[in-house]
Structure 1
């Protein structure tokens, strides 16, 4: 009955999330439902001591990254820097390479730390202009934005500051630059196959005489029409953040740079915290530089900072709620059956990790939620198995990030729903292409990553 309760709660979580019910409400209720099926009636202590403690621990660990990432994205958005970067890339590539222009515009922004929601709003008007001029069906715009935002720059590219690349660090003692060869390989699989698919679909639509199509365009903010800031100035904070993050995580916050024994009083080690500290410092510097380089454009920096801070709260609470749910499930005696089944799928821990994270990301409709639940329940076991098999923790890190970015983009995913709303299109018209570039192809990339990682490639 306990196992049935777990699967029932997971199904209901997926169903009601698709219906639009907040996971902040869903997760404690469904976690307690699974608890009742396991035969326990300790509802209140489990809620306050297990669910809420796990939620609070996640917030305590990752809130700085959510907060600074949201503020940086808001500064890049309100200053016009994000639109400036996207405009220049689109103009250089032109209508002949409209799909590649949209994908690369999104990729540069998300790899630079701008949130995918900001990217969707910034790039959409440019995509409409390019696709209309090239006669490419509008229904492919969500797929192009998804490919550039939801896939390789979110999960695979070494050094990406997106939170999905930060979550495995405390579990495996790694940094955002973990397993660079694996990350680049997975990125190329997603980028090349994704672009090939979208170009094939565009060519097919144009040949059928479909064209851009008749659409009632969504009103675009007036700021799009304003003079955009200089491209180099706009790109500087992104480049600075990436370089600084690399230097700090590989040469400063590491064993041997100085004596870190004094960290014992804070119950941490430089291996566990160094990656997070590197990202925090890099994002702070990037935010300051972005604001200083756009003083003439941004007249109310405090308002922008406050807006970004407010946005970060909703984002982290959604993810932390999923983590709280996962921790309750992990404490149930019946979960041991599922846990052993996952770990027993293969003698290769990378396969167990990839399958568990992919499945839970799909159920929760969240890359961060699915990965956090899996690593909280299986992280220690996976690390032990990997160590005994001679597999580097860096490989575990990269497999985890690539795995979370596949099945998460099922129809009930919040980013997918938001993207379709921004583009004014329905699941029926555009989801198939989103599925191909952000679910099917990333799953292929995961298989490639596991194979290469099993061969000892890092």
Structure 2
């Protein structure tokens, strides 16, 4: 094993460990990038680079590039989610769905609620914060182990909805600019795979909970548990669907009809934000302050992603990374298979689906397009695959959901979450490749 490969593996492992220990990713990522630089003989600063790329320049180029391309999207998404949150619209939808199914079907109700909100454009973090109190109440009524709540929130938010055709999440929009596709690329296969992932995931979730209950696990009350809001003070649930429908409708029109590409997402989120502000205007007390909080949240969210993109930008300078990429793209057989392997490795390296795509797509998209791989099939396989190994323990959403929102630990909560957000998308990607090969 070369020193470069050893450094690449050590950097990734250390990044995971430091993140699990609670170190800020903005500190951990450049620190681990330093290991990559030292073991691959990459100069640290420009004066030592002799006109070659240095660690600091490469890291900040990757960091700033992602910020430049996606900050407006993060900002509008965060603001839209905040407006849906403070108006009570997100809570109203959650109440309606959960009370429709009741505590008897608590896991399914939570997954469905998260799926509807995230597919409609609400930030996955806002969804987790909004749905958690009601999820807690349902799990308490059903006397189910609360350590499974993070898995329910994550499965409904970052799997079959995040990477499906039509989704307004970044992971479904990033491939468009490199492949010349739209957000509905490969939609027949996407529909089959989404239904498969949802049904298989719910079956697996049911089995895991049933086994835990059989072993004597039950719900445990804790001090300072949040209480869900009462539904009589919330807007009518059907009124709350309007902004979500407008987001999906405007994104479809701008992407498929007008071919606006990535700008379709900006228009869609802006449409949702304006419509929500108009619809719920009388419910706002301090809208300006709330939008300021949303802006800060957007900065934190995108900075965390930029940090891992920066780490990946240094990683792709290493001989080990390039040798691995050449090996993966040269694998014999169908190009969709090697593309799925390549994207899996890179999102695992970064711990971020969007960050991994930002690094991988410029490198692998031209290769597979030149090889004659169908761009629509490639778009969908990359999207679905990126939603698998990104959910390793050091993923920012995983850490926030398990520790900050739900108050659990990785030791108690990650296994079911990982099974649903890593294993199920992995199987879904295999199914998608198989269906595309069959010509569906």
Same fold (TM over 0.5): yes
> Does the 8 Å contact 1:249/1:275 carry over to 2?
yes
Aligned twin of 2:45: 43
Aligned twin of 2:49: none
Map Cα deviations across residues 226-248 of structure 1 (whole Å, 9 max, x no partner).
71111122111001110111111
Shift of 1:207: 4.6
User: Larger deviation: 180-189 or 75-84?
Assistant: 180-189
Aligned twin of 1:7: 9
- The total of aligned residue pairs comes to 431
| Match runs of 1:277-316 below 5 Å | 277-316=263-302
Q: Which runs of 4+ in 1 moved over 6 A?
A: none
Map Cα deviations across residues 56-106 of structure 1 (whole Å, 9 max, x no partner).
222221122111111111111111111100100111112232221111011
Shift of 1:218: 3.7
Counterpart CA distance in 1 for 2:276 and 2:344 is 35
Q: Structure 1 length as normaliser, TM-score?
A: 0.88
Counterpart CA distance in 2 for 1:288 and 1:86 is 22
Counterpart CA distance in 1 for 2:56 and 2:215 is 59
| Match runs of 1:370-449 below 5 Å | 370-385=356-371, 387=372, 391-421=373-403, 422-449=405-432
Map Cα deviations across residues 23-59 of structure 1 (whole Å, 9 max, x no partner).
3233334334323323343633524543322322222
> Does the 8 Å contact 1:182/1:453 carry over to 2?
yes
Counterpart CA distance in 2 for 1:438 and 1:64 is 27
Q: Secondary structure at the match of 1:275?
A: coil
Counterpart CA distance in 2 for 1:186 and 1:377 is 26
* Equivalent residue in structure 1 for 2:113, among 66, 85, 105: 105
1:251 and 2:234 equivalent?
no
* Equivalent residue in structure 1 for 2:234, among 228, 236, 243: 228
* Equivalent residue in structure 2 for 1:364, among 345, 350, 374: 350
Q: Structure 2 length as normaliser, TM-score?
A: 0.91
| Match runs of 1:191-202 below 5 Å | 191-202=198-209
* Equivalent residue in structure 1 for 2:104, among 63, 87, 96: 96
Q: Secondary structure at the match of 1:152?
A: coil
Map Cα deviations across residues 337-370 of structure 1 (whole Å, 9 max, x no partner).
1221111233322222212222232233222222
Counterpart CA distance in 2 for 1:133 and 1:221 is 13
> Does the 8 Å contact 2:154/2:421 carry over to 1?
yes
Return 5+ residue gaps in structure 2 as ranges. Answer: 47-52
> Does the 8 Å contact 2:37/2:55 carry over to 1?
no
Return 5+ residue gaps in structure 1 as ranges. Answer: 254-273
Aligned twin of 1:256: none
User: Larger deviation: 26-35 or 318-327?
Assistant: 26-35
* 1:40 to 1:442, Cα distance in 2 relative to 1, 3 A: closer
